A and B are shown apart, each in its own frame.
Chain A
Amino acid sequence: MNKFKAYFAKVKQRMIDMKNQPKKPRDFSPILNSVISILFGLLVGFLIMLAVNPENALGGLAKLLTGGSATPQMMGNTFFKAGPLILVGLAVAFAFKTGLFNIGVSGQFMVSGVATLYVANLVVLPAPWHWMLAILAGVVAGAIWAGIPGLLKAFFNVNEVIATIMMNYIGMYLCVIMAYNAAVYNTSITAINAYYPTANTPTLGMSNLFPGSNIDLGIILAIIVAVIIWFLLKKTTLGYQLKAVGYSVPGSKYAGINYRRNVIISMMISGALAGLAAAITYLAVLPDYLRPVNKILSIGFEGISVALIAQSNPLGIIFSGVLISYIKQGALTMQLLGFDKEITNIVVAVIIYMIGISSFLGAYIKKRRDKHIKAHHESEEDAKNV
């Protein structure tokens, strides 16, 4: 009995020790990395503006930084456009976590857009069910379109980068064929859109909050999904397995994780997220129209940017998605001063690059600082000895 008592006393003492230990400072460095990278990107953007048009550069920068929130309308539109960006960012990041590079988000987006609009235009249903079914169609189509490269990767070892690029093109041509179908094609706008109002995503009265803007359910949906994805990756067995495959394929196989199943699931969820992004894009009351053109949409590549800026953290993606949308809105007002809106992509590229090299720079600065402190100590010691 005494043995037990002694043991419990020991445990209790250890717990007290742990409590009294100084708290570890929380590690903010990933966030700091992102913030510094963003500032640096804006600086480079400003320098380029200065080089091209020195007189208007300062005004242009101000417009770029404030345009996204200048009026309630602009602010609403910033959030409205952020929804799809957050979702495609999540799509890319989710695949990243499993060690997969889904470069085919654009293709999944286009195919899902067609599926969504087919349901929106060919099915007649009352209001909540109609748009819900249309969104579901988009999600399912995206999951299938991304699931194909997933299957090829899992069973035939086909490189998913190539497979998703090929699926982009196949999807694009499929999209053109489907969009020209007379049953859905709207000749007056040379595109397809949802023409039953029951298929539009509800605005939930948020346009009262941001008068004149197109803000709707999309952004709320995007944020909820981001939290779900964070939970899925962080707190569930499935998330753990997916990440394990991402860290080490042989290691996860050794641990008894079904590699093939996880690769396919990861790609399908990634595609489903891209599909949701397409659905909320095309079902909005004032949407981007789905045009049958032989061009891969850039949205999938923007998703890569969104994911990288947040370093694939699902909650961070909410912010990076809003950030990119904000800068894009700002660029629209900046154009009035004669700067091309492409400056946003230059800024985004610099931000991504800086994030890529930030860990090296961080380590380098730390090394320099440690060296400096050490040298400082040594000189103090020397001074004492003398």
Chain B
Amino acid sequence: MYDSIVSYLALVLLAAIPLIVTALGGMFTERGGVTNISLEGIMIIGAFVGLVTVNKLPASWFSSNFVLYLCGMIAAVIGGLIFAGIHAIAAIKMKANQIISATAINTLAPALALFLTMSLTLGEAQGSDKILVNGTRFIIERVPLLADIPFIGEVFFTNVYPSLYFGIAILVISSIVLYKTKFGLRLRACGENPHAADAAGINIYKMRYQGVFISGILASLGGYFLVTSFTNEFDATVSGFGFLAIAVMIFGNWKPKNIAFTALFFAALLTLSKGVAFFPALENWLYPPIPADTPPEQIAFLTYVSTKVIPNIISMLPYIATLAVLVLSSKKSAAPKASGLIYDKGER
């Protein structure tokens, strides 16, 4: 039982970190007043650029896999910044509808990644659109000393991906930046009441650019963390994690701490269908073995129920739960007031 809980928690953290990081990115851009539903696209680009870098750089250049992992992160961030820049120019400088330019990026990112994979044969083999991930090489097996702490040591310091520590660091830094620095205060002002902020001498456009660029950095890292630790193959998709991150951000009321808890809750439900395997008693209850004396005409139906119906209902749970909680919490939603609105100096 103890081991099962440890493995399940590790799995939940694995899914939660990319969600937290990406949702924090969304939080920064929305707090500055620019919506960014292109998080999904930016995640794909971050994952793609990071993976290609990690796969193509000769391993002999690096003293350890950790340095290689860092190189992948840097490359991912550069990719994310470029795509965030495309969105920022349209949304801030050109006063375009923010949904439109973000949709363009969401369309462009997977197409470009697939196109380049195919044209430059970056995939596993000629004509394959799948890039091999081989993320297990980045696993940190044991952190000395800390791994000996009971429970915490096993969850946080044994067989973990570096993304766990980066994710936690980003969460802490984000809270500090948003609430304890001049930059954070100004950014929040831009998202709440840009005209007042402008009157107070803040350059709205500059703040908003910075907000969008931060979302580019974080979303691309989120994508990179996701594919290196959660999947074996990358075929230009992050399976909707970018949109889930937006849900997490809204559900977390645009606040770092709430976002972290929401992401954990979401990740716990998201990994439930996999996690059931860690708990034999629960598995037995959910998927009771078919009794030997079952009439043959019922066997097909019972197998259908246990192999198709129940697992898919479990998979549905996080989404149903989100809707239910949103119903209960949406009345007191604290969205930044100017989020998604174009800022025009001359407007009253």
A contacts, CB < 8 Å to B: 48, 52-53, 101, 103, 152, 156-159, 161-163, 165-170, 173-174, 176-177, 180-182, 294-296, 301, 304-305, 308, 339-340, 342-346, 348-350, 352-353, 355-357, 359-361
CB contact between B100 and one of A166, A167, A308 (< 8 Å): that residue: A308
Q: Scoring B residues 73 to 108 as 1 if CB is less than 8 Å from chain A, else 0, what string do you get?
A: 000000000000010001000111101110111111
| CB interface residues, B 26-68, toward A, < 8 Å | 37
B103: nearest residue on chain A (CB-CB)?
A: A304
Interchain CA distance A352-B107 in the complex, whole Å: 9
A120–B196 Cα gap in the complex (Å)? 60
CA distance A129 to B105 in the complex (A): 43
A163 (CB) vs chain B CBs: closest residue: B323
CB distance from A238 to the nearest CB of B (A): 24
B298 shortest CB reach to chain A, Å: 12
- Which residue on A lies nearest to B119, using beta carbons? A52
Interface range on chain B (Cβ under 8 Å from partner): 35 or more
Judge whether B96 and A356 touch: CB under 8 Å: yes
Residues of A within 8 A of B312 (CB): 173-174, 176-177
In the bound complex, what is the Cα–Cα distance between A346 and B99 (angstroms)? 17
Docked CA distance A345–B108 (Å): 6
Distance in angstroms between the alpha carbons of A343 and B103 in the assembled complex? 16
**B79 CB, min distance to chain A CBs, angstroms:** 16
Contact among A53, A161, A180, A360 for B304, CB-based, below 8 A: A180
Is B70 engaged at the interface, CB distance under 8 Å to the other chain? no
Q: Which of A181, A301, A350 contacts B106 (CB 8 A)?
A: A301
Provide 22 A-B residue pairs closer than 8 Å at the C-beta atoms, listed in order of the A residue: A161-B37, A161-B246, A162-B247, A162-B250, A165-B247, A166-B320, A166-B322, A169-B240, A173-B312, A173-B313, A173-B316, A308-B100, A340-B114, A349-B104, A349-B107, A349-B108, A352-B101, A353-B108, A356-B90, A356-B96, A357-B94, A357-B96
Q: In the complex, what distance in Å separates the CA atom of A177 from the CA atom of B307?
A: 10
For the complex, is B258 an interface residue (Cβ under 8 Å from A)?
A: no
Leading 10 A-B pairs by shortest Cβ distance: A345-B111, A349-B108, A356-B100, A353-B104, A360-B94, A356-B96, A349-B107, A340-B118, A352-B104, A342-B115
Closest A residue to B244 by beta carbon equals: A165
Q: CA–CA, A173 to B310, complex, Å?
A: 10
**B181 at interface (Cβ–Cβ under 8 A)?**
no
Complex contact B326–A158 (CB within 8 A): yes
Count of inter-chain pairs, beta carbons less than 8 A: 144
Q: Does B1 lie at the interface of the complex (its beta carbon under 8 Å from any beta carbon of A)?
A: no
CA distance A162 to B315 in the complex (A): 17
**Chain B interface residues (CB < 8 Å from chain A):** 37, 86, 90, 94-97, 99-101, 103-108, 110-112, 114-115, 118-120, 239-240, 243-244, 246-247, 250-251, 300-301, 304, 308-309, 312-313, 315-316, 319-320, 322-323, 326-327, 330-331, 333
Knowing A101-B99, A156-B326, A181-B304 touch, does A166 contact B108 (C-beta < 8 A)? no
A180 contacts B308, C-beta separation under 8 Å: yes
Query: Are the CB atoms of A342 and B114 closer together than 8 Å?
Result: yes
Q: Could you tell me if B97 and A350 are in contact, using CB atoms closer than 8 angstroms? A: no
Identity of the chain B residue whose Cβ is nearest the Cβ of A96 in the assembled complex: B99
How far, in Å, is B324 (CB) from chain A's closest CB?
10
By CB atoms of chain A within 10 A, which of B111, B120, B240 has the most?
Answer: B111
With beta carbons under 8 angstroms apart, the residue of A159, A176, A356 that contacts B326 is A159
